[in-house]
Structure 1
Amino acid sequence: MQFSAVRLATAMGLFAGLLSGPAMAADWSDNAIGYRYGTRFAEPYVSSDIHKHIVNFTHASGNQYGSNYLNIDVLQSDRRDDDATEAYLVYRYTLDVGKVSGKDFRFGPVRGFGLTAGVDLNTKNDPGYSSRKRMLVAGPTLMFDVPGFLNVSVLALWESNRPVGVSSRYEYDLHPMLAASWNIPLWNEKWSFEGYLNYIGAKGLNEFGGPTAPETNIDMQLMYDVSSAANLKPKSLKVGLEYQYWRNKFGNPSNVPGSTASTPMVRAEYHF
């Protein structure tokens, strides 16, 4: 069933309410510019591997109420994907319920409980599909007591798109996502294991009347701090290897060519 205007308004109201928390000055922040490259990317209905250069900007910050995360990727494909350029934005705000209420939500390995809301937006200029995705997300988050961080969320997704050949914006069924993100320091903190895992439920029929399938997207990075070699402060410059596995990409079933990707990458990022 497509989501109604009331549901959309409710989700947007929750999102706006959570955003009111971070208006105060951040207690900490981290910005980064990154680059990664791989030769085995996949796109639905493209039968061959795709080479992509990706540049990203990331911002993370937090205060006494919660934390912000923003990432913008600009992805440049080669001729196998029509030399297409894509921009993809992810924003999340997590309200720390324990800090706001003054209550202790610790139990077992969990150190805290939060409420997360955010948006995904993308645009791509390929002639075949030309995605214009919009998605609101909201749901609870558990924050685990580990070195660095590990957050696990269960989110509701309100997603729509208006690709080539669709006259008006199409709204998918409301569907769930199990999301995990982490950054774990290793070996005297020179190394770090970073990444995310998203398991997304099927979202009903697509905009052309075909079925959708649950998708799995896992992205893992092993990064090494080379700041000292460049006479920079620690954790300023990192290089490493990244691997992404994406099954049923964007909800396309496994019988669609290019619906599954297994992509090793090289990655570098500068933090400031």
Structure 2
Amino acid sequence: MSDVLIAATYEFGEGDNESYLIGPAFDLKIPGFDYFQLNFYQRQTEGNRPGDGVWQITPVWSYTIPVGKSDVLIDGFMDWVVDNDKTSRGTYHSNLHFNPQIKYDLGKALNYPERQLYVGIEYDYWTNKYGIKDSGSFDTDQNTASLLVKVFF
């Protein structure tokens, strides 16, 4: 372990869709990883919305693999809300959001500065998106792959 932190996040949307997340975080030294962080959040919602007081675990990572004269970067995060919560306004269901990216450092391969031009893919999986339970008549699971180009200035 290389550091202990306090992590905080503010989530917002239309209407009263606001959540405050706060909790301990740990930077871990795992051989081969550029970084690996493990965050534990307790979710606090505005008003009487469901999802108040539930816990979320969020690992974040980055791993670089040398390939030829460049690198492949594998990074991403996972948000796992581990509890359900029920109020008079409904139920917030446990959910899992997994979002890794695999990127090739094209800039470095073309003899430009490294870490400025990446091409790759992103996979986005979210079960019970926004804490809404998936059902046969209402699909709330997200499953998407995307091509990406990232340019850093």
Give the TM-score normalised by structure 1. Answer: 0.49
Point out the structure with the larger helix share: 1
- Which amino acid letter does the alignment assign opposite residue 17 of structure 2? K
Q: Paired residue for 1:138?
A: 22
Q: CA offsets per residue over residues 171-212 of structure 1, 9 Å max, x none? A: 432110011001111125610101001111345236x73222
Q: 1:132 to 1:269 in 2, by over 3 A?
A: farther
Any unmatched runs of 5+ in structure 1? Answer: 1-110, 124-129, 161-168
Please give the residue correspondences for 1:17-166 in structure 2 after superposition, counting only pairs within 5 Å. 111-123=1-13, 130=14, 133-146=17-30, 147-160=33-46
Larger radius of gyration: 1
The separation in 1 between residues aligned to 2:78 and 2:35, in whole angstroms, is: 14
Contact kept? 2:73, 2:104, Cα under 8 Å? yes
Residue 87 of structure 2 corresponds to residue 201 of structure 1? no
Residue of 253, 260, 271 corresponding to 2:141:
260
Alignment counterpart, residue 177 of structure 1, candidates 38, 56, 61 = 56
Distance in 1 of aligned mates of 2:17 and 2:8: 14
Deviation of the 1:262 alpha carbon: 0.9
Aligned partners of 2:16, 2:122: CA distance in 1, in Å?
A: 27
Matched, 1:192 2:73: yes
Q: Alpha carbon RMSD of aligned pairs, Å?
A: 2.3
| Residues 140, 236 of structure 1: alpha-carbon distance in 2 compared, 3 angstrom cutoff | same
Once the two structures are TM-superposed, the CA of residue 216 in structure 1 deviates from its matched residue by: 0.4
Q: Is the 8 A contact 1:119 1:134 kept in 2?
A: no
CA offsets 1:231-256 (integer angstroms, 9 cap, x no match): 63111011100101100111111226
Residue type of the alignment partner of 2:40? V
8 A Cα contact 2:48 2:89, kept in partner: no
> Counterpart of 1:190 in 2: which secondary structure?
strand
SS at structure 1 position matched to 2:2: strand
Which one scores higher on RCO, CA 8 angstroms, separation ≥ 6? 1
Aligned residue-pair number: 147
Does the 8 Å contact 2:7/2:39 carry over to 1?
no
Contact 1:157/1:174 (<8 A) preserved: yes
Structure-2 change in CA distance of 1:137 and 1:211 (3 Å)? closer
Give the match's secondary structure for 1:187. Answer: strand
TM-score in terms of structure 2 length: 0.82
- Aligned partners of 1:113 and 1:140 also within 8 Å: no
The answer to whether the 8 Å contact 1:238/1:270 transfers is yes
Gaps of 5+ in 2: none
Displacement, 1:229? 5.8
CA separation of 1:137 and 1:209: change in aligned 2, threshold 3 A? closer
1:116-174 Cα shifts (integer Å, max 9, x gaps): 33223333xxxxxx4553222221222221331011121111123xxxxxxxx544321
Question: Which residue is 1:103 aligned to?
Answer: none
| Counterpart code for 2:79 | N
* % same residue: 17
Is the CA contact (8 Å cut-off) linking 1:202 and 1:251 kept in structure 2?
no
